[in-house]
Amino acid sequence: MKNSKLLISILVTAIITAGITYNLVSPKEVTLLNEEDPFSKLKSTYNLLQKNYYQDVETEKLVEGAIKGMVESLEDPYSVYMDIEEAKSFSENISSSFEGIGAEIQENDGSIIIVSPIKGSPAEEAGLKPKDVIQKVDDKSVEGFSVTEAVMLIRGEKGSTVNLVVERPGVGNLNFTITRDTIPIETVYSEVIEDQIGKIQITKFSESTSEEFAKALSDLQEQNVKGLIIDLRQNPGGLMDKAIAMSDIFVPKGENILQVEYNNKTKDVYKAENDAMIDLPTTVLIDGGTASAGEIMAAALNQSAGIPLVGEKTFGKGTVQSAKGFEDNSSVKYTTAKWLTPDGTWIHDKGIEPTVKAALPDYANLPYINPDNVLKQGDSTPEVNAAQQMLKALGYDGVSLNGYFDENTTKIVKQFQQDQALEVDGKISEGTTIKLIELLQSKIKENDTQLDKAIETLKKDL
């Protein structure tokens, strides 16, 4: 009896402590389920809420909530139910330009992660990096959000701003204030660089990418290039069929481009159907932002055409998705299969290792400084340390690198401001910050050590 009273006391205390109040009506009967109908519990719950919930319920909300819950139960970051607005946003990202910051994201274990910023986008210019974890969007936590829910918060009209708090591995939390812009449809950029080498950068695989790529190749061939570098860095992927078509240009006829494995272990094997149309020495650039369709092309060219990969290990996304639209313009995007490299390797969560490893200079990975902040003598913050590192990278050798804004840092900031015809006040604020970032980005482009290594690798075959 004593033990029973103690147990009741503990239970009552636990309920009070948790701040929960119950006013339960004792159930008079148990709802029977139809064992032959796996949806009988779902239907019963739906009918129960429609009849007995204390407020009016919207049928559409109940149905959409059930669908979302069903898809979320898969615990697959690439499978998601998209309502009408979300489905429209997804379609725009694949087929046309849109307004936003220009970054591919994914959900992983309840976190929203940057896969890759798009070339020339506000996200790239602000300094977002692959693997950055988005904590907040405009002070709203996105923990537990789906990708589409996060996208709807991050996107917005051109000219408007959005504030992101991200956690960067090894650095900690960083603040980014980004001005949204139109993210263009163009996905392929080409140029002739030193020693008649053609360079083609592919930023993602959208509906127009294969046509853009074919034109870029044709233009470079007309300029009599001697070799080719394909830059797949920061490419978050896109449409698998475009990656297959573009790989077919390089892979010898009959060789594997990729394999697709379904849940019943059957496989579709995609082979090159045409004689290789490009016989120029070729090298491919990859990094941690190369994902999905970008990895398909990189693996195909490496394993089936013997083309070397230069750079850093890729992101590691080895699954295939399909999207099924509904009459009301909503849709479900869901994972249908694994994709395997030509030799049957599943690179999911592992990535592809480069043939030749090459990293960018350390200053290419410096954290972002918010131009809205004012850094001044006496401050001691990670942003001060980043600014000091930037000044050193730009040739100001005497600057301290301890994160403390001392008198010497003030002196060097004034010298920098004088050199750049800025207001000389010794503080790092909007104008000085923007100039620091601009000059650093220019230096990174001028000192692209990964591209240099790709050129060096390519020249061995010229």
Helical spans, DSSP H, in 27-58: 40-52
> 7 pLDDT band (50/70/90 cuts)?
very low
Q: Which of 190, 292, 388, 417 is catalytic?
A: 292
Whether 292 is a known active-site residue: answer yes
Confidence check: pLDDT of 47 > 80: yes
Whether 140 is a known active-site residue: answer no
Whether 324 is a known active-site residue: answer no
What percentage of the chain reaches a pLDDT higher than 70?
92
Q: Which of 40, 89, 91, 321 is catalytic?
A: 321
Q: Which of 129, 199, 204, 317 is catalytic?
A: 317
Give the pLDDT confidence score for residue 169 in this predicted structure: 83
What are the structural domains, with CATH classification, of the chain? 97-183 (2.30.42.10), 188-361 (3.90.226.10), 376-446 (1.10.101.10)
What percentage of the chain reaches a pLDDT higher than 90?
58
Give the pLDDT confidence score for residue 223 in this predicted structure: 96
Long-range contacts of 114-117 (CB under 8 A, 24+ apart): 114/166, 115/236, 115/237, 115/289, 115/291, 115/315, 115/317, 116/234, 116/235, 116/236, 116/289, 116/290, 116/291, 116/315, 117/234, 117/289
Closest of 271, 247, 264 to residue 337, by C-alpha:
264
Helical spans, DSSP H, in 142-272: 147-154, 209-222, 240-247
Give the pLDDT confidence score for residue 95 in this predicted structure: 56
| Per-residue pLDDT tens digits for 141-175 | 999 888 878 888 998 889 999 999 999 887 788 88
Give the pLDDT confidence score for residue 87 in this predicted structure: 81
Question: Across the chain, what does the average pLDDT equal?
Answer: 89
Q: Give the pLDDT mean for 68-93.
A: 83
Closest of 178, 190, 61 to residue 123, by C-alpha:
178
Instruction: Tell how strand 356-357 and strand 309-311 pair up.
Output: parallel
Give the pLDDT confidence score for residue 449 in this predicted structure: 97
Sheet with 309-311, edge to edge strand ranges: 188-193, 197-202, 227-231, 282-286, 309-311, 356-357
Handedness of CA 73, 76, 77, 82 (dihedral sign): negative
